[in-house]
Structure 1
Amino acid sequence: MADTPPDRLSVDPASPFYDEALLARGIGIRFKGVERTNVEEYCISENWVRMPVPTAKDRRGNPMVLKLTGPVEAWFKDDA
């Protein structure tokens, strides 16, 4: 596998950016200098992450997500 994580990755199996093998390997995300564990999707080149809102649900019962912009860093946890 490559040593650098993909530019964009999602944890939602319905997304075209979902990759189970990469998620199983373990991806670390740092957003605005803080390591985050609740990121649903990220894009390094466009500098954004999607994070769930804990109290809000959509009509299908899934957590609502907010798209937040700022510097994003990603790494493989097994390399750290």
Structure 2
Amino acid sequence: MSDTAAVRPELPDHLSVDPRSPHHVAAVFEHDIGIRFNGKERNDVEEYCISEGWVKVPAGKTLDRKGRPLCIKLKGAVEAFYR
């Protein structure tokens, strides 16, 4: 297990799933990551920032004019980890 931990890149403070974002790190998404928000694991996080304490999640099935999910920002304790 320590060999796989050495290969994994360090999780950034600010990460986005959108490849067009400047906060997207493709090497991180080669591994299974999880986000714990206010003590509960969330599977619908589009973007997070640990230092500022927020996550962006889709607001239902609503889409913006470019076809991307419309997101809302939730504030609280954020923890990112590898599964």
TM bracket (short chain): 0.7 to 0.9
Corresponding pairs, count: 77
TM-score, length-normalised on structure 2? 0.84
The alpha-carbon distance between structure 1 residues 58 and 3, as it changes in their structure 2 partners (threshold 3 A), is: closer
For structure 2, the residue ranges without an aligned partner over 5 or more in a row are: 1-6
Runs of 4+ in structure 1 deviating by more than 4 angstroms, as ranges, are 1-4
Q: 1:41 aligns with which of 44, 47, 53?
A: 47
- TM-score under structure 1 normalisation? 0.87
Aligned residue number for residue 11 of structure 2: 5
Work out which of the two has the higher radius of gyration on C-alpha atoms and give 1 or 2. Answer: 2
Query: RMSD of the TM alignment (CA)?
Result: 1.4
Overall identity of the aligned pairs, in %: 51
- Ranked by relative contact order (alpha carbons within 8 Å, sequence separation 6 or more), the top structure is 1
CA distance in 1: counterparts of 2:78 and 2:17, whole angstroms? 16
